Amino acid sequence: MKKDRYIYPAIFTYDNDGISVEFPDIPRCFKTIFRH
């Protein structure tokens, strides 16, 4: 049995205090990673 595979584009935004990742195809889905 073949597993389903999903591919979503991501937008990476780099800033001085971390990185933000946004998935435009999935509403309200984003992640922020802060550097310590």
The number of distinct structural domains making up the chain is 1
Which pLDDT score, from 0 to 100, does residue 27 have? 86
Q: Is residue 2 part of a domain?
A: no
Q: Is residue 1 part of a domain?
A: no
Which pLDDT score, from 0 to 100, does residue 34 have? 78
Which pLDDT score, from 0 to 100, does residue 35 have? 72
User: Rounded to the nearest 10 degrees, how much is the dihedral formed by the CA atoms of 4, 7, 25, 28?
Assistant: 80
Which pLDDT score, from 0 to 100, does residue 36 have? 64
Give the C-alpha distances (Å, rounded to integers) separating 27 from 1, 16, 17, 22, 30: 30, 26, 24, 9, 9
Which pLDDT score, from 0 to 100, does residue 28 have? 85
Range of the domain at 19: 7-36
Q: Is residue 22 part of a domain?
A: yes
Local confidence pLDDT in tens for the 36 residues of the chain? 889 999 999 999 998 888 888 999 988 887 877 776
Q: Has this prediction a pTM greater than 0.85?
A: no
Q: Is residue 18 part of a domain?
A: yes
Q: Is residue 16 part of a domain?
A: yes
